[in-house]
Amino acid sequence: MKTRNLALATLAGAVLCSTALTAAEPVKVGFIYVSPVGDAGWTYQHDLGRKQMEAALKGQVTTKFIENVPEGADAERIIRQMAQDGNQIIFTTSFGYMNPTEKVSKTFPKVTFFHATGYKSGANMGIYNARFYEGRYLNGVIAGKMSKTNVAGYVAAFPIPEVVMGINAFARGMKSVNPKAEVRVIWVNSWFDPGKEREAAMTLIAQGADMITHHTDSTAVVQAAEEKHKEKGTWAFSYHSDMAKYGPTAQLSGTTHVWGEFYIRTIKEVLDKKWKGTNVWGGMKEGMIQLAPMSKSVPADLQKQIVKLEGEIKTGKLHPFAGPVVDQEGKERVAKGKNMSDSDMNAMNYYVQGVASAFPKN
């Protein structure tokens, strides 16, 4: 009797111990970044999300990141290394990691992978992305209302659908309040080259654009607008991060990515074993896209209007690509009364009306 009790007690103790152990053992979560974290930009926003998640799930997870990982063959080695090191959840945060992530995910079926901005998924590989275009549309509305020259300049990296979508959304927002508005685009063919980005911004300003925005990674465009603000009255909209620090007078607003809530939610799902494959494309409703705080130079009634439109985007009443959507050539892409489908948006390879530049054909 006594011995049985003892045995039971030991057993219970062992069980308790082991559960206590597993509870105390935090899950390792890894992140792969394409560029240095820095102080603003795409990777910086992901790292903010990582920190927020780590603080919220304190004790349950430990995180680790590797920055500046080139896309391509090298990425596979590093993702594999991360899985081998015992990371159970791995986020790969750039488009070019798609194939390597998929490959590694097949050899580590017990690890859960998440790839940002791609289109390949699997049993243990989820996809996530943000509806950047919602913020772009609202930025466009502000630009359309406040522009004196009716010209906006857009410094863009590469002509891929994600970037084109942003240009078109901005143009549609601008045109919705200003029929004379036009958007001019300069492609710098680089995600990150502050010198070139700056030159492109300066060129657009010299050619009459008084609203400037960018889809590149540095703060150079906002800084250029700040420099020319006094002389030319140039305003700027930041992208990825709030860059008000770099354009204290010139920045009116911007489109920012907020990944923290998504990371917290997803990791909880995986930890609770409730996760079953995700393809998350979140926008303002999910809080994954937010407007950078509007500066006091945006008139109060316009601020009110933007807040109202933001609410309408969240409820789905307003869709930046609600029909009719007509492209530059006059061809109708979406009929009146319909919204563009997600897959059509992700394959956008034309400019809408309101963009003045020619579409870069491949």
Partner 1 sequence: MGLNFISSILFATVVAGTPLIIVALGELVTEKAGVLNLGAEGTMSVGAVAAFAVAHHTGNPFLGILAGMAAGILMSLLFGISALTLMANQVASGLALSIFGVGLSAFIGKPYESVALASVEPIRIPLLHKIPVFGPALFEQQGLVYFSWVLIVLVAWFLYRTKAGLVLRAVGESPVSAHSIGYGVVKIRYQAVLFGGAMAGIGGAFMSVFYTPMWVEGMVAGRGWIALSLVVFATWRPARVMIGAYLFGGCMIAQMFVQGSGVRINIPAQALSAMPYAATVLVLVLISRNRSTIRLNSPASLGQTFLPDA
Give me the residues that bind partner 1 (CB under 8 A), please: 35-36, 38-39, 68, 151, 153, 159, 182, 184-190, 192-196, 198-200, 202-204, 206-207, 209, 218-220, 223, 227, 245-246, 356-358, 360-362
CA 57 to the chain's CA centroid: 22
Q: How far is the CB of 75 from partner 1 (least distance, A)?
A: 18
Q: How far is the CB of 171 from partner 1 (least distance, A)?
A: 12
Instruction: Determine contact, residues 206/151, Cβ cutoff 8 Å.
Output: no
Among 209, 256, 231, CA closest to 44:
256
Which residue, 168 or 219, is less far from partner 1 as judged by CB?
219
Which residue, 40 or 83, is less far from partner 1 as judged by CB?
40
Residue 135 CA to residue 59 CA, distance in Å, equals: 35
Torsion of the alpha carbons at 135, 140, 145 and 151, rounded to the nearest 10: 160
Q: How far is the CB of 162 from partner 1 (least distance, A)?
A: 16
Q: How far is the CB of 79 from partner 1 (least distance, A)?
A: 22
Which residue, 161 or 360, is less far from partner 1 as judged by CB?
360
Which residue, 131 or 229, is less far from partner 1 as judged by CB?
229
H/E run at residue 119: none
Which residue, 64 or 245, is less far from partner 1 as judged by CB?
245
Q: How far is the CB of 37 from partner 1 (least distance, A)?
A: 8
Which residue, 76 or 193, is less far from partner 1 as judged by CB?
193
Could you tell me where the beta strands, DSSP code E, fall in 174-234?
182-187, 211-215
Residue 270 CA to residue 267 CA, distance in Å, equals: 5
H/E run at residue 239: strand 235-240
Q: How far is the CB of 35 from partner 1 (least distance, A)?
A: 8
**116-124 contact pairs (CB < 8 A, 24+):** 116/46, 116/91, 116/92, 117/162, 119/346, 121/277, 121/279, 123/277
Q: What letter represents residue 227's amino acid?
A: E
C-alpha distance across the termini of the chain, in Å: 83
Which residue, 79 or 188, is less far from partner 1 as judged by CB?
188
Q: How far is the CB of 239 from partner 1 (least distance, A)?
A: 15
DSSP state of 322: B
| φ, ψ of residue 281 in degrees (nearest 5) | -125, 90
